């Protein structure tokens, strides 16, 4: 039978057990699997959050809020002041961001816009290999090589917030560089040609056209880099000195030992009795960390969305 | 009388060894609308990009010959490329709005050129938008994103953007590709106005457009200049058999 003879049949009533029905089955199965996978991700994340709340919430009931907001962290004496840990985390993270973002962005701009092809071919893979170095190895490097240098420079000890910030900065640099470079690469060549044809210099083109056009990609690069810095535990534990006290204010704060929230959880979780107050306070620290990352993420999303809306206003 | 723009023995080879232009010679007079036409890969766009030195950006290319504007070689070592590109404006086949508002797209190039006075900038923005026949459509939404414009409006905005710098020569690389006939007619109309003041070199969308707008034209084929002449001569009585075949549609 020729296909021409068959063709009209499909325009009539669909026959039972016709091939299309079987295809619909496989469609249905695949759709269901994809849906299940998607839902499971949401469900698991929700469960993690609920678990964190369940374990951490008792801390807020059993420990007076004045205790939690105090400046002393001595769990053995039931002193659970979170402020020193919060300050420790903030110091290290802000320091890391202040080092990594300018360094990362300029490196990416150099790689993407100025470097001759042969340099790019060498540097890009090298930077990507850097991302694969286990964080503890960097921490070790900080302990052995960096800390003596910092102590030699006049700090009371080499294990300080600054040491941690440098290690974290270098840990997040590869992420920031390669994602920013990808974002710059994705800017259409027409933008550059258009700007150059108007008599913009290379630097004006980069500053006024290429970077703004790549802005959302750059924000994501910085976010992922910062995310790595906030969440990092072991390397930081190794090089920040682990002293849960609030350093004196001023620039000197960076050159005193601190202890971060993540390091506290990692160091003390093994020693606490499950269900004890100390145990739930550690989970409460987890909740605080979660809130901070959530805040940073939503700010970044606002920023990307906001700039897209504002893009009509100015470059 | 010296030509506004004079191309002398110009050859250009890309990094992959493909020779895009061979020994091109031609003179373009001030205030004429000069059309470069020919089939694809004829070297039209390459030639345009050599006239404002955008081709410099590609690595590994080789150029010989000279391009003179007002009798001065633009490839001479002491030429400021940025300055040159302000004098020789360019509009691309694909509209290239920059991220930002319509106003800032036009103000951008002026600010780059060191013009800081807001009053001067606003004045020039309005005048160039009028010259590109876009003012009436956008005057109430200058702060809207340039990406919100239609294709034809974007292209006229890009034209206005190069006009804002008050160049001497405007290069147009197929400025009406992808435009509907009405938008095309508007762009062509503004070109007739503009050549009073500027010298325009254009790669057209089609042979029909070439014969519609050209004062004089050059026919390029595979990187060679086949024939230069007036609109009358080139489209009615071409000397060269290949030109005749192309304009009558026997190939291309």
> A257 and A160 in contact (C-beta within 8 Å)?
yes
B90 touches chain A (CB under 8 A): yes
Distance CA A105, CA B128 (A): 36
The DSSP annotation for A191-215 comes to HHHHHHHTT--HHHHIIIIIHHHTH
Confidence of residue B157 (pLDDT cuts 50, 70, 90): very high
Residue B48, H or E segment: helix B44-51
- Confirm whether A73 is domain-assigned: no
Long-range (24+ apart) CB contacts under 8 A made by A148-157 are A150/A255, A155/A255, A155/A256, A156/A255, A156/A256, A157/A241, A157/A257
- Confirm whether A119 is domain-assigned: yes
> B98 and A195 in contact (C-beta within 8 Å)?
yes
Q: Which residue has the higher pLDDT, A180 or A152?
A: A180
Q: What is the mean pLDDT of chain A?
A: 83
- Confirm whether A88 is domain-assigned: yes
Q: How many residues make up chain A in this entry?
A: 315
Distance CA A110, CA A16 (A): 65
- Confirm whether A6 is domain-assigned: no
Domain total in chain A: 1
Give the mean pLDDT of B179-198: 88
The predicted structure's pLDDT at residue A98: 92
* Domain residue limits at A197: 81-310
Question: Is there a contact between A312 and B101 if contact means CB atoms under 8 Å apart?
Answer: yes
- When computed from its CA atoms, the radius of gyration of chain A, rounded to whole angstroms, is 27
* Residue B41 DSSP label: T
CB atoms within 10 A of CB B160: 27
- Confirm whether A20 is domain-assigned: no
Mutate to test the interface with B, among A190, A198, A310 (most CBs of B within 10 A): A198
pLDDT digits (tens, 9 = 90+) for A258-288: 888 888 888 888 888 888 889 999 999 999 9
Going from the C-alpha of B208 to that of each of B152, B214, B231, B249, the distances in angstroms are: 19, 10, 11, 10
The predicted structure's pLDDT at residue A248: 67
Q: Worst-scoring range by mean pLDDT, A201-205, A308-312, B49-53? A: A308-312
Question: Is there a contact between B112 and A208 if contact means CB atoms under 8 Å apart?
Answer: yes
The predicted structure's pLDDT at residue A147: 86
Residue B210, H or E segment: helix B207-213
Give the mean pLDDT of A191-211: 88
pLDDT digits (tens, 9 = 90+) for B97-111: 888 899 999 998 898
Distance CA A304, CA A285 (A): 29
- Confirm whether A124 is domain-assigned: yes
The predicted structure's pLDDT at residue A272: 87
Interface of A with B (CB under 8 A): 116-117, 190-191, 193-201, 204, 208-209, 212-213, 311-315
The DSSP annotation for B176-207 comes to TTT--HHHHHHHHHHHHHHTTTSEEEEE-SSH
- Confirm whether A62 is domain-assigned: no
What domains does chain B contain, in order, with CATH numbers?
5-95+168-247 (3.40.50.300)
Chain centroid offset of residue A235 CA: 16
The predicted structure's pLDDT at residue B112: 84
A97: closest CA of chain B, how far (Å): 27
> A267 and A282 in contact (C-beta within 8 Å)?
no
Confidence of residue A4 (pLDDT cuts 50, 70, 90): very low
Confidence of residue A7 (pLDDT cuts 50, 70, 90): very low
- Confirm whether A58 is domain-assigned: no
The predicted structure's pLDDT at residue B1: 57
ipTM of the complex: 0.83
pTM: 0.74
Residue B220's DSSP bridge partners are B225
Confidence of residue A15 (pLDDT cuts 50, 70, 90): low
Option in B99, B113, B148 nearest A315 (CB): B99
Dump strand ranges (E) for chain A: 73-74, 79-80
Q: For residue A31, is pLDDT > 50?
A: yes
Confidence of residue A315 (pLDDT cuts 50, 70, 90): very low
A108: domain CATH number is 1.10.3720.10
């Amino acid at each position: 039978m020729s296909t021409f003879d068959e063709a009209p049949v499909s325009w009539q009533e669909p026959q039972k057990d016709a091939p299309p029905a079987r295809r619909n089955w496989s469609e249905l199965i695949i759709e269901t699997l994809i849906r299940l996978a998607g839902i499971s991700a949401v469900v698991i994340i929700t469960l993690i959050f609920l678990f964190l709340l369940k374990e951490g919430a008792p801390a807020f009931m059993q420990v007076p809020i004045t205790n939690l907001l105090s400046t002393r962290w001595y769990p053995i004496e039931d002193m659970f002041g979170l402020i020193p840990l919060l300050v420790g985390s903030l110091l290290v993270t802000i320091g890391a961001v202040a080092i990594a973002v300018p360094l990362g962005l300029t490196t990416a701009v150099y790689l993407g816009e100025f470097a001759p092809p042969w340099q790019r071919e060498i540097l890009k893979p090298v930077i990507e290999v850097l991302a694969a170095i286990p964080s503890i190895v960097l921490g070790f490097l900080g302990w052995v090589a960096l800390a003596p240098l910092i102590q030699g420079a006049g700090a009371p000890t080499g294990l300080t917030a600054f040491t941690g910030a440098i290690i974290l900065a270098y840990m997040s640099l590869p992420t920031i560089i390669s994602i920013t470079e990808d974002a710059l690469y994705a800017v259409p060549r027409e933008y550059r040609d258009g700007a150059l044809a108007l008599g913009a210099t290379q630097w004006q083109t980069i500053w006024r056209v290429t970077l703004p056009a790549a802005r959302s990609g750059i924000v994501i690069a910085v976010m992922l880099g910062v995310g790595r810095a906030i969440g990092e535990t072991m390397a930081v534990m190794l090089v920040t000195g682990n002293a849960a006290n609030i350093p004196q204010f001023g620039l000197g704060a960076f050159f005193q030992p601190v202890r971060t929230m993540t390091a506290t959880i990692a160091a003390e979780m093994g020693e606490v009795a499950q269900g004890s107050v100390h145990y739930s306070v550690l989970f409460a620290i987890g909740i605080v960390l979660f809130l901070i990352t959530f805040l940073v993420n939503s700010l970044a999303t606002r920023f990307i969305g906001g700039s897209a809306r504002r893009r009509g206003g100015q470059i | 009388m010296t030509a506004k723009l004079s191309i002398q023995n110009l050859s250009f080879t890309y990094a992959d060894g493909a020779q895009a232009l061979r020994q091109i010679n031609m003179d373009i007079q001030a205030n004429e609308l000069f059309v470069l036409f020919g089939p694809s890969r004829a070297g039209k766009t390459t030639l345009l990009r050599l006239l404002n030195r955008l081709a410099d950006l590609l690595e590994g290319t080789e150029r010989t010959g000279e391009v003179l504007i007002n009798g001065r070689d633009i490839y001479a070592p002491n030429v400021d490329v940025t300055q040159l590109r302000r004098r020789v404006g360019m509009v691309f086949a694909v509209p290239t709005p920059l991220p930002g508002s319509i106003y800032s797209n036009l103000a951008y190039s002026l600010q780059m050129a060191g013009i800081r006075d807001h009053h001067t900038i606003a004045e020039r923005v309005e005048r160039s938008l009028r010259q590109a026949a876009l003012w009436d459509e956008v005057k109430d939404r200058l702060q809207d994103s340039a990406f919100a414009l239609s294709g034809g409006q974007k292209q006229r905005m890009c034209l206005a953007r190069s006009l804002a710098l008050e160049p001497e020569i405007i290069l147009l690389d197929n400025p009406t590709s992808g435009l509907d006939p009405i938008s095309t007619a508007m762009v062509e109309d503004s070109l007739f106005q503009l050549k009073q003041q500027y010298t325009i070199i254009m790669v057209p969308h089609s042979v029909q457009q070439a014969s519609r707008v050209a004062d004089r034209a050059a026919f390029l084929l595979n990187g060679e200049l086949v024939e230069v002449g007036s609109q009358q001569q080139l489209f009615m009585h071409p000397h060269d058999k290949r030109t005749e075949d192309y304009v009558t549609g026997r190939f291309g």
